[in-house]
Each structure stands twice: as structure tokens, then as C-alpha cells.
Structure 1
Amino acid sequence: MPANDPKQTTYGFIAALSAFLVWGLLPIYWKSLITVDPFEILCHRVVWSLVFISVILTVMKGWGDTFAPLKSPRDLMILAASSLMIGGNWLLYIWAVNTGHVLETSLGYYINPLVNVLLGFVFFRERLRPLQLVAIGLAALGVINSVVSHGELPWISLALAVSFGLYGLLRKIASVESLPGLFLETMVLGPFALGYILWLQAHGASALFHQGLNVDLLLVGAGVVTASPLIGFAFGARRLQLATVGVLQYLAPSIAFLLGVYVYKEPFSPSHLLTFAFIWSGLAVYTAESVFTIRKVRRLAGKTPA
């Protein structure tokens, strides 16, 4: 596929945009299951993701080396750790949304790119450029403002940002592609999730088949809304410039922010606005610096003799 094929670029943009739209609208989905315990929702999300991804891999003839990482003790340990990390992240996110903390989830995913920069510095000794330090400093001021204004750390935001950052770090060092990787992670969590669902059914405490067809379909559909945006993102990321993907990633937390403020009417005081303003300023600096750096590298690469 030509790197500059306009048609492929358009398809990639639509796929990536759709993925971030789905991620941004997920609070609406989880709110529709507010009568179900968050841990039970998580278990259904794991089980039905495993089923849906299995179907997709079969249709796409993508099984290939899916199970190859299981032969490596190193990759197996990494996938076990990433399974726990993404499971914890999903559980916290669902709980936060359904207990009135959509704005905090939004803040967490705004912070995440800056957390990734810090993790790169800590674990991979990636050099922090001056403007990246400025961006991280602005985000830190936002967190400090939240602590001073509300008397506590925005722990939900920080936990989501750090857990997803660590998950990304683990996946970066694992020798596995995105969709097969998610299959293996849900396969690791699947027996425990299915066991809990069956235990609930045996004790008559399960939401499945007991809260109406709408809830049943939403629980099963949790697998679709988990895997489908990942497929779209993977398709789009291969066809778009990094700078484009970098800007699109802010769409999901922006949608969540608007939902929290205007749809779910969560408290949003001037101090909340100041916290977000610091974070947004940091992201503006970070994004501008990233775009500048990418263009600079490309210019230098273009001048390098073949």
C-alpha cells in the first residue's frame, strides 16, 4: 500500500475517527447498565470480548501466530501483567462512570499522553525535551490545583492514566499485535470472569436473563464495543501520520468531558475549569512540540543521502 495513497488515508482517517468516537461515547453505554454491578459488567466485557475477537480472527484468518507468545515465559508474564492492568483499568472506568465521575475519567485520559512521556523516561530512558517538561509541569499544576481546591488527589484520573500508561508500556515490550494481544489478555481473564458469571447465575444474582432483554443485549454487546474500536484504530494508525493520530486521541476525552458537563450535569466549578485549563495547556504544548519534532525528523530524513 503506498504510504501517500489518498484513498487509503481517507479510509484510515474514517476508521480512526470512528474508533475515538466510540471510545468517547462509552460513558453512555455503561450508564445504560447502571443497574448492574460494575464487576459483573467487567466480567461480561471480558467474556464477550473473547468471543467477539475469536469470531473476528476466524473471519480475517488472523490466527497465525496468535498463540506464539504463550511459548515464551517472558511474553507470557508480560501478557499476564497487562491482563491485570487492563482489567483493573476497565473496572475503574466502568465504576467511575456509573458513580458520577465521568469528568474525572475525561481528565485521566487527557493526562495519559503526558504520563506516557514520563513512563518512557523512567523505563526506557527516553530523553525529555524542554517543551515536554513544560507540558508535564503544566499538568502537574493542574493536579496540584485540584488537591488545593478539593482537598484530595484526583485519584480516579491519576489511576486511569497510570494504569493505561503501564498497560501501553507492557504491550510495547510484548511481541504481539494489538488484536491477538487483546484475545490473549481476555483469554487469561476469561476463566475467572466466566466463573464469576456462572456463580452469580447459580445463586440467582446475575443481571443476565433477569433484568430484561435490553440489559442482556448490552452485556453481550460489551464485547463488540470493546474490540471494534481497537480494530478501527489499528487499521487507521497504519494509514495515518503520527501527528494526525496524536490529535485524534483527544477526541475521546473531549466527548466524555462534554457528556459529564452538559448531559450528566456533574459539578464543574471554576476550580475544575482551572484544573482542566492547566491540563489542556500542557497538552497544547505537548502536541505542538510533537508535531514540530516529527516534521523536523522528516526534513532531516529527506536530506539524508540514500
Structure 2
Amino acid sequence: MGAAAPPPGADAADVRRGTLMGAGAYALWGSFPLYFTALEPAGAVEVLVHRVLWALVVCAVLLTALRGLGGLRRLLGDRARLGWLALASVTIGVNWGVYIYGVQSGNVVEASLGYFANPVVTVLLGVLLLRERLRPAQWVAVGLGTLAVVVISVDEGRLPWIALTLAASFGLYGLAKNRVGRGTPALVSLTGETLVLAPFALAALVVLEVVGAGTFTSAGPGHTALLVSAGLVTIAPLLLFGAAARRVPLTTIGLLQYLTPVLQLLAGVLLLGEEVAATRWVGFALIWLALGVLTADTLRAARRRSALARSAVASAQG
């Protein structure tokens, strides 16, 4: 089974380092259930607003140190991209908030299902929003994903709304990020996103403290430190991911991404004691089958494009 070539200028050692960085990023994201559980008694809204505000602080410090504030000014001054930046901000805010709620309400397993389903939902969004034409294998994957939702919903008497919201919000976030511009550095983009969310986060934090629902100063210095660390916890895996993406093939990144929901699923079942009904395992199996179909189709399409490119070069040289 072939793989796409590494980025230009990346040697074997660089690719290995990039792969380790990518695995580290996804492993950190996979450990988030344990981190957000440790933040209790802070509720999901309070955790979310601290995450936004402290992430903005860390981003601002890093951008200043790296002299990247000019890139942020250009992004904020570009009206064509500003709307997409706002959409990215809203969708990542929804994603973060629902995920934190899912963890703290004992639905880590369902949250992991959302991230397993994300590639399938992204394909479906391509059809609905971008009028993309799918290959037969992609339609099979979408059908399997839909069947998984039906199986789980019928058995539990409700839609797995946490999983669906996470998958849809992250898929829309990816679309918005693409429109913001692939050439926009991740740190610049995330700074812009948190800057858009910051006024709302600050207002929510003030309300929480005024009504006595905040825990920032009332649950001990250790709890305060954990809330402050939300900024670094948010930024660290993104920096690792950004470094990895410049060093390894896109197909490798695509395969590594499944490490996050696998670790989340294991954390929910083995460490947090969540029970998984038999029908939910059937739903997971259908999603995994859909992912297998998508992955095989993606690799096959990549090999076909690579062969066509080599053929075109050979013809030009001949």
C-alpha cells in the first residue's frame, strides 16, 4: 500500500521526527477527557471561557515573540477572510463547548464517536455545501455512517447529538479554515479565532463571577492553575501538529488522526468507567468500516494521481 511523498525538502529523519510530533499532538488531544474531568467543579461554560481567554493570552505572547503580529493584522484587515474567520470562531467554540460538556456529563464514548465520524461527515458536507461529486466508495462510507446513527438512535431512543454536533462543527470548522487560507499560519489563525470569541468569553466570565457560579478563585490554587493551563493545553498540540504537517505526507497525518478518538474511547471505557451498550458497539463497528472504506479509497486515489503525474512527466520528457 503506497503513500504520498513527503513534503519537499523533508529527509527520512525529518519525516520520523514529524511522525512523532504528529503522534504527540493526537495523543495530547486524546488525553483531554482526563484533563477536563480534572477541571471539575468548573462547569462546561466556565471551562470554555477560560480556555478561550488563556489560549488568546498564550497566542498573543507567542505571536509577539515570533514577530507574527503583522500576519494577524493582515488577516483581521481582510474583509473577504474575516467572515470565514468568524465562522471558524463560532464552530470551534461550539466544538470545544460541546466536547467539554460531553466529558463532564459522562459521555466521553459518544464524544469519541463524533471524532471517528468526522471524516464521513466532512465528505457529506462537501456534497451538501460545495456540490462535490463523490466517488462510489465515498457514497458507501456515507451510507454506513448514516446507518450507524440510525442503529444507535433507534436503540437509545434519541439522536447521538453530542457525536453529531462534534462531527458537524469540526467539519464546518475545517471548511472555514480552508477558506481563511491554507497559507495562514495556524498560530495566526487561532489567535484571530480566539480574539473573535474573547469579548463573549470575558462577558460570560464576569457573569459567572457576579452570580457566584465561578470557581476560579474559590476552589483552591491547584484548581486555579489548572484553569490557567487551559491556554497552554490548547496551544501545545496545535504547535506539534503544525510542525508535523510540514514534515510528513498528508496520508500519514490522515491515519494518525484516528489516534485521538481511540484514546478518548479507551479513556471513557477503561479509566472513567463508562458502559457501552451492545448496539453502540455495532454503531462504532459501522463507523470503523466506513473509515476503512474512505481510507482505502483515499489511498487508491492518491496512487492514481501519483501515477498520472509520473506519466505526464515522462511524456513531457519523451
Out of 243, 267, 273, the position equivalent to 1:235 is 243
Secondary structure of the residue aligned to 1:100 is coil
Cα RMSD for the two superposed structures: 1.5
Query: Deviation at 1:303?
Result: 1.8
| Alpha-carbon separation, structure 2, partners of 1:239 and 1:169 | 23
Quote the residue 2:79 is aligned against: 73
Code of the residue aligned with 1:283 in structure 2: it is L
| Alpha-carbon separation, structure 1, partners of 2:162 and 2:206 | 30
Secondary structure of the residue aligned to 1:152 is coil
- Matching of residue 115 in structure 1 with residue 117 in structure 2: no
Quote the residue 1:271 is aligned against: 279
Structure 1 pair 215/238, CA: closer, same or farther in 2 (3 Å)? same
- Matching of residue 32 in structure 1 with residue 38 in structure 2: yes
Quote the residue 1:215 is aligned against: 223
Quote the residue 1:102 is aligned against: 108
Code of the residue aligned with 2:223 in structure 1: it is V
| Alpha-carbon separation, structure 1, partners of 2:226 and 2:64 | 23
Out of 253, 257, 265, the position equivalent to 1:249 is 257
Out of 93, 114, 119, the position equivalent to 2:99 is 93
1:52-96, CA deviations, whole angstroms, 9 ceiling, x for partnerless residues?
111222233333322212222232222122211111111111011
Quote the residue 2:3 is aligned against: none
Moved more, 176-185 or 190-199: 190-199
1:158-200, CA deviations, whole angstroms, 9 ceiling, x for partnerless residues?
0110011111111111133322111011111112212332343
Secondary structure of the residue aligned to 2:72 is coil
Quote the residue 2:167 is aligned against: 161
Code of the residue aligned with 2:93 in structure 1: it is G
Structure 1 pair 250/68, CA: closer, same or farther in 2 (3 Å)? same
Code of the residue aligned with 2:84 in structure 1: it is I
| Alpha-carbon separation, structure 1, partners of 2:122 and 2:68 | 29
1:186-232, CA deviations, whole angstroms, 9 ceiling, x for partnerless residues?
11111221233234344544211210111111101111111111111
TM-score using structure 1 length:
0.95
Quote the residue 1:289 is aligned against: 297
| Alpha-carbon separation, structure 1, partners of 2:134 and 2:86 | 30
Query: Deviation at 1:280?
Result: 0.5
Secondary structure of the residue aligned to 2:86 is helix
- Matching of residue 144 in structure 1 with residue 144 in structure 2: no
Quote the residue 1:189 is aligned against: 197
Secondary structure of the residue aligned to 2:70 is coil
Query: Deviation at 1:122?
Result: 2.4
TM-score using structure 2 length:
0.92
Structure 1 pair 264/158, CA: closer, same or farther in 2 (3 Å)? same
| Alpha-carbon separation, structure 1, partners of 2:111 and 2:292 | 19
Structure 1 pair 148/129, CA: closer, same or farther in 2 (3 Å)? same
Moved more, 247-256 or 116-125: 116-125
1:269-289, CA deviations, whole angstroms, 9 ceiling, x for partnerless residues?
211111100001111111111
Quote the residue 2:4 is aligned against: none
Which structure 1 segments of 5+ residues have no match? none
Query: Deviation at 1:108?
Result: 0.2
| Alpha-carbon separation, structure 1, partners of 2:116 and 2:212 | 40
Code of the residue aligned with 1:236 in structure 2: it is A
- The percent of aligned pairs where both chains have the same amino acid is 42
Q: How many residues matched?
A: 306
Secondary structure of the residue aligned to 2:174 is helix
Moved more, 192-201 or 279-288: 192-201
* Deviation beyond 4 Å, 4+ runs, structure 1: none
| Alpha-carbon separation, structure 1, partners of 2:133 and 2:247 | 27
